[in-house]
Structures are given as C-alpha cells and as structure tokens.
C-alpha cells in the first residue's frame, strides 16, 4: 500500500439476478469477484439481499429460501479461499425467531462479521418490518452505555461477530457498513461509524427507481461523504428484481469527501461494476484538521481485524482515478456560480476595507498584465456597489525599462474603457538615479536592477496614496506568494491585497470569464488580449521590436504545474513523492517526468526559502480552499528546512 500512496481500490458491483434463485445469484457474484481480483480490487460490495433478491416478499419466511441462502453463502466463502479480496454480500439471516437483513463480510474463505440493517422501511411499496427485525434489537442500554445484546451468531464456520457496532480494520484502512434505508434516516449509522474510525462506508442497497430520485440519492451520498470525511461506496439492486410494483435500476456510486468520483450506468441487463481508488491519506488529512471530528467514547464499537491475502503483485498505480490538471478551477457546470462567488468575495472584501478606512481613493498599479487587470476589475466593482464615482480609482501606469508596447497599450485602453482616473509616472529616471546612488552599473541587469524597479513602483504608489488620501491595492496572487516570486518591500507590499487568495491559473480563468460574460465588445477584446499575453514582470529591457523579453514561466516553471503542487501540498499535506506521482498521472500527455521533477523541486525549494515574504504580507481575503496568510491558514518558520 505504501507504494500506492494511500489509495485503496474498491468496486461497487451489480450482478444479474433471478428472484429466489440463490444458486444462480451466487454464480454471478463469484464471476464478479473474479473480475474484481483481475482488476486489483481490494473490497467489492454487492447490493442488499443480493444472494436471494430483494423482492422475495413472503418467500423470506420459507425455510427453503433461508437454507438455500446460507448454503450458497457458504459456497461463496469457500470460493474466496486463497483469493486476495474482501467481499460484502447481502443475505437474510435467521437468529432465533428473528430474521435480519444482513451484510456478510467475507475474507479468505471466512465470514469475519455480519452487520444487520437498522432502519427498515414500512411505507409505500416496502414492508420490510413484515419480514425483518431491525438491527437495533441486537443492542441494549447498559449502565456503561450501549452494548451488544447478541455479540456473536453461530453459522456453519462457527461463531462470528454480529451487530451494528462492527468496524472492520485492515492494515491500511478501516471500513463500516450500512444498508439502504440507513442512509435515509435522520441519523445514519455511517455517521457514528465514521466518528469511531471508519474511513470507508459501504452501502448495500435496493433503492428503487423513481423520476427524480437518482439526483436526490446522488446528492445524499455526496453530502454524507462530505459530512463525515469518508469514502462512500454504494450499490443497489438491478433490473433482475421483480417488477410487480416497482423497478430497480442498479445504481452505483463511489464518492469521496463530497466529490462523486464515479457513477455507474443504470438499467444494465448484464453484470456491471464500477471501480475506483479512494485516497485514505486525503481523508485522514481532512479529519485531522477538523477538530470537531473526535471519537465518541460513550459508544460501544468493536473493531474486527480483517487480513486479506497479500497480492503477489501489487498494482503500482491507480488505473481508474484521474486527477484534474486544474484543481483550483470549476467544472463547466459550476463556472457561472463559481466565478461570481470569487468576484463577490474579492469585491465585498475591498468594499468593506474602503469604507472602514474612509479612503478617498484607491491606487492600483496597472501594467496591462493579468494580475493588475483582475485587481482593477475588482476595484471597479467595489466602487459600483458602494455607489462611488469610478474616478476615485486612480490607475497608475509606471513605464520602465522592460515595459512592452502591448501591455502598455492594453493598460491605457483598459482604464479608459472602465472610466477611472489615469496617472502616468515613469520609473526610468528615478531608478537610474537610485542605481547611480548605490554605484550599481545600469547595464548590469541582475536582481538589483530588477528589484530596484519594483521598489520604485511601490514607493510611487505609497506616496501617491498619502497625497490623495488613498489606499494602495495590491495585485500579487497566491501562486506568486507561494513561490516568493515578488520583490520584498516591492510588489510584495500594499495596503490591501485583493488577489492574495487567487492562484495564477484562476486569475487567468477569471479575466477570461469576465471578458466573455460581463463586458461589452470593446472591453472584451482588451481583456482577451491580456489573457493571451505571456506572464512577465517586465523588468528587463524589451527586444528590438518592443516585445516582452522576460517570461516568468521560462524562469520558474509553468504556473499550471505550480498550482497543482500548491493545491495538494497545502490542502492535504501530501509528500513530495505522492505529489510527483499524481502530477505525472495528471499531466502525462503534456510534461515528461523529468520536467515535472525539475519544477516540483523548484516549487519545494522556493516555497520553503521564501516564507519570510509571506510572514509580513498585507491583509487580503481568502478565496479558494487554501491561503498563505500568516494570520490564517499558513504559519511556518521562515528558516524551515526544505521539505
């Protein structure tokens, strides 16, 4: 498992079924177990009452069906002997005078535990209380809390643990089980199972199909997986069930902490199965950070050690799971709401700060690049919602030795279209004088030459803000802060950093979204050209044709890679090796492993070395799931060793 970076491969299976034909149903279950083993699956989950069929009705009372079910369950157990897999099979179980709807956990020829269903539907077309006893009957209140009343049951292989208080633990993860209606109850068993340590929840279900129900069911699964930070694996009865009154579609889902990783196709008339990898390390990170996720010591839960046979050849990479190359960006379906939320967060934050400081103006340096463009759009929106004249926004162009014709013209056109006040102050003379004062050769285009320009620009903005009773709005973004790609006491400093919570890939996305959805044709063309302009600090002289000679991504690497590294390092604390592995999977069609190694090393080195710039960064709103504010998400010593 260590070589798999915490990924656990699971399957949600729907076998073809004949109602009350246990031998046939067992044969299909065995076939799917073999298919899962071939795919390297560690745990396979079958639907509720998959051995008999859910729609047997009063046939559940018959001894013949009960005996056939147990006989075929034993044959499935024998079939798994020597096989490296855990199988969860649904079947009825008679205990004394009670009949329970159960999930059997089968490993290497043995039943390691049996979990009865707790919440039995008794309305509409389902009358489970007619046939089954609730799993609540297996527990009782004692002076010390809730304890099992029937801790074990006798089956063909001897005594096995029985009850709703069972957790199943392997060397690498712990899982719990709930059955169908349990998820729909006000307090699903999975909630307490997760609190007690279950990282994966398997739901053996027989939920029928109604118009609109699939969307609601999907939403419930996503929400429950998010609520308890778990992987949730769900499978339900297929089209082989009786259609006397209802239809079953064979719905399958695998979710992880609020994200639906995979959903199977419904109404399949042959065996179907979805396979996916769940990230146990990712789940544990979220639980670790959620300080309310603490174990309830009052509850009585038993942990059953499950030791599946080790595989002769471990799979070395997830074949099914895919990683987005842009983890900070929305899906196409989420785009409108996501982008408007981002703009609203930034705008609301700046408007509040503007009101509170009673500043007469906002000063923002406009370079014609992505970051300053986004900052200006936010300034304009803040002025509009406050009812302020846009002329109170002072956009300052500060041409220097590396300013290109393209960015300069875009800056001018942008300010004119938005109707703000424009000031132009060249930094060339001041920078030249300053370099002369410190005896630095102006033809030596080193870091001193570059940073002197950045600091002069900040000096101009700060002094102008004093003169105009204004507030300097910072333009630097989250990705630049992570890499330390900013000049200390230069563009690193402002009075409020509206972009400090926005990664570079999202900055580009937002400007493009604004161009295509929020503005007219004239401004749209300017914004789209800004999006297409290479990212550059423009601190080195342009080429002979006035074009940008200094491109940031040539120096520090592609921002799409750095944002990928940043997301998984900060959000989940993953190791360098795991991030590398995921990046190689995500970008396999674009970057080779050598390139990814190079820029990952750059990211890790710069992230650790440049913390001192973040330790004194100005205020700014958190927008995405991570932030580098020393007052919020990220507190780190400035002299920490490289991780």
Same domain, 74 and 150: yes
Q: Which residue has the tokens 């900040």?
A: 458
Using CA atoms, how far residue 503 sits from 60, 323, 327, 508, 548, in Å, is 59, 18, 10, 9, 23
Active-site residue numbers?
A: 48, 117, 180
* CA dist., res. 166 & res. 114, Å (int): 8
Q: Is residue 323 situated within a structural domain?
A: no
The per-residue pLDDT for range 549-593, each reduced to its tens digit, is 788 888 999 999 999 999 999 999 999 999 999 999 999 999 999
Residue in 197, 196, 167 with CA at minimum distance from that of residue 304: 167
Residue 2: band (very low, low, confident or very high) from pLDDT cuts 50, 70, 90: very low
> What are the tokens at 18?
């004949």
Q: Summarize the confidence of residues 338-344 as an average pLDDT.
A: 96
**CATH (domain of 373):** 3.40.50.620
Q: Is residue 631 situated within a structural domain?
A: no
Residue 370 has pLDDT above 50, yes or no: yes
Residue 404: band (very low, low, confident or very high) from pLDDT cuts 50, 70, 90: very high
Does residue 573 contact residue 566 with C-beta atoms inside 8 Å? no
Count of residues making up the chain: 643
Q: What percent of the chain lies above the pLDDT cut of 70?
A: 95
Element (H, E) at 428: helix 428-437
Which residue, 554, 581, 608, sits at the end of a domain? 554
pLDDT of amino acid 207: 83
Q: Summarize the confidence of residues 249-259 as an average pLDDT.
A: 95
Least confident of 147-161, 168-182, 582-596: 147-161
Same domain, 392 and 272: no
In sequence order, the 6+-apart residues with CB closer than 8 A to the CB of 78 are: 109
Same domain, 39 and 77: yes
Taking residue 122's Cβ as centre, other Cβ atoms within 10 Å add up to 11
Same domain, 291 and 356: no
Can you give the pTM of this predicted structure?
0.90
Structural domain of 406: 335-554
Same domain, 79 and 202: yes
Q: Which residue has the tokens 């009350």?
A: 20
Does residue 642 contact residue 608 with C-beta atoms inside 8 Å? yes
Q: Is residue 624 situated within a structural domain?
A: no
Same domain, 263 and 157: yes
Biggest alpha carbon–alpha carbon distance for the chain? 100
pLDDT of amino acid 520: 87
Q: Is residue 203 situated within a structural domain?
A: yes
Same domain, 78 and 131: yes
Q: Is residue 589 situated within a structural domain?
A: no
> What are the tokens at 538?
């423009």
Q: Is residue 463 situated within a structural domain?
A: yes
Residue 330: DSSP 8-state = P
Same domain, 299 and 352: no
**CATH (domain of 284):** 3.60.110.10
Domain count, the chain: 2
Angle at 276 between CA 271 and CA 277, to 5 degrees: 150
Residue 544 has pLDDT above 80, yes or no: no
Q: Is residue 442 situated within a structural domain?
A: yes
Same domain, 261 and 348: no
* CA dist., res. 35 & res. 222, Å (int): 27
Same domain, 226 and 350: no
- Would you put residue 573 in left (φ > 0), alpha (ψ -120 to 50) or beta? left
Same domain, 216 and 351: no
Same domain, 271 and 213: yes
DSSP per-residue codes, 3-15: GGTTEEEEEEEE-
Give first-to-last CA distance, the chain, whole Å: 22
Q: Is residue 62 situated within a structural domain?
A: yes
Classified as helix, coil or strand, 429 is helix
> In 238-285, where do the E strands start and end?
252-256, 259-263, 272-279
* CA dist., res. 200 & res. 280, Å (int): 8
Burial 223-262 (b: 16+ CB within 10 A, else e): ebbbebbbbbbbbbbbbbbbeeebebbbbbbbbbbeeebb
pLDDT of amino acid 124: 59
Residue in 308, 274, 254, 225 with CA at minimum distance from that of residue 42: 308
The per-residue pLDDT for range 33-45, each reduced to its tens digit, is 999 999 999 999 9
Q: Which residue has the higher pLDDT, 142 or 378?
A: 378
Residue 296 has pLDDT above 80, yes or no: no
pLDDT of amino acid 540: 85
Q: What percent of the chain lies above the pLDDT cut of 90?
A: 79
């Amino acid at each position: 498992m260590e070589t798999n970076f915490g990924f656990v491969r699971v399957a949600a299976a729907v076998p073809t079924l004949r109602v009350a034909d246990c031998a046939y149903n067992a044969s299909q279950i065995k076939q799917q177990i073999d298919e899962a083993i071939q795919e390297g699956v560690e745990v396979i989950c079958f639907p509720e009452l998959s051995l008999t069929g859910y729609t047997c009705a009063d046939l559940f009372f018959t001894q013949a069906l009960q005996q056939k079910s147990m006989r075929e369950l034993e044959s499935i157990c024998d079939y798994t002997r020597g096989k490296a897999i855990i199988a969860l099979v649904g079947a009825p179980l008679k205990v004394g005078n009670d009949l329970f709807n159960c999930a059997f956990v089968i490993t290497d020829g043995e039943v390691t535990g049996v979990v009865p269903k707790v919440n039995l539907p008794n309305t509409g077309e389902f009358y489970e209380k007619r046939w089954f006893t609730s799993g609540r009957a297996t527990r009782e209140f004692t002076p010390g809390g809730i304890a099992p009343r029937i801790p074990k049951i006798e089956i063909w292989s001897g005594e096995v643990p029985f009850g709703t208080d069972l957790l199943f633990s392997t060397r690498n993860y712990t899982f719990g089980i709930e059955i169908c209606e349990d998820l729909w109850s006000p307090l699903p068993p999975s909630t307490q199972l997760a609190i007690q340590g279950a990282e994966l929840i398997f739901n053996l279900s027989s939920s029928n199909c109604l118009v609109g129900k699939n969307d609601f069911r999907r939403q419930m699964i996503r929400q429950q997986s998010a609520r308890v930070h778990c992987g949730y694996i769900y499978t339900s009865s297929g089209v082989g069930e009786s259609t006397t009154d209802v239809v079953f579609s064979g719905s399958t889902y695998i979710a992880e902490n609020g994200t639906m990783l995979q959903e199977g196709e419904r109404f399949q008339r042959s065996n179907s199965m979805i396979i996916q990898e769940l990230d146990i390390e990712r789940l544990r990170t979220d639980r670790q950070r959620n300080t309310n996720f603490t174990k309830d010591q009052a509850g009585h839960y038993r942990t059953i050690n499950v030791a599946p046979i080790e595989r002769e050849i471990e799979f070395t990479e997830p074949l099914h799971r895919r990683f987005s190359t842009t983890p900070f960006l929305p899906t196409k379906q989420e785009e409108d709401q996501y982008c408007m939320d981002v703009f609203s967060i930034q705008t609301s934050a700046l408007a509040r700060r503007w009101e509170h400081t009673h500043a007469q103006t906002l000063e923002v340096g406009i370079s014609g690049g992505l970051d300053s463009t986004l900052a200006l759009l936010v300034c304009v929106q803040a002025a509009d919602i406050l009812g302020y004249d846009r002329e109170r926004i002072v956009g300052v162009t500060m041409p220097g030795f590396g300013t290109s014709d393209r960015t300069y013209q875009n800056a001018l056109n942008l300010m004119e279209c938005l109707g703000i006040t424009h000031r132009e102050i060249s930094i060339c003379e001041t920078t030249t004088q300053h370099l002369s004062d410190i005896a630095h050769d102006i033809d030596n285009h080193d870091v001193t030459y570059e940073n002197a320009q950045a600091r002069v620009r900040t000096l101009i903005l700060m002094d102008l803000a004093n003169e105009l009773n204004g507030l300097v709005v910072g333009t630097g973004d989250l990705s630049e802060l992570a890499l330390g790609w900013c000049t200390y006491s230069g563009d690193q400093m402002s009075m409020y950093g509206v972009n400090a919570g926005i990664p570079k890939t999202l900055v580009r996305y937002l400007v493009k979204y604004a161009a295509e959805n929020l503005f007219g044709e004239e401004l749209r063309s300017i914004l789209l050209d800004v999006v297409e302009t290479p990212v550059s600090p423009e601190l080195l002289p342009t080429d002979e044709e006035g074009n940008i000679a200094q491109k940031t991504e040539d120096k520090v690497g592609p921002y799409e890679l750095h944002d990928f590294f940043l997301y998984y390092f900060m959000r989940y604390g993953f190791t360098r090796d795991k991030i590398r592995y995921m990046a190689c999977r995500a970008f396999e069609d674009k970057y080779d492993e050598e390139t990814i190694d190079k820029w990952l090393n750059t990211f890790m080195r710069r992230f650790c070395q440049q913390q001192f710039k973040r330790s004194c960064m100005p205020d700014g709103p958190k927008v995405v799931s991570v932030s580098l504010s020393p007052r919020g998400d990220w507190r780190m010593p400035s002299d920490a060793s490289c991780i």
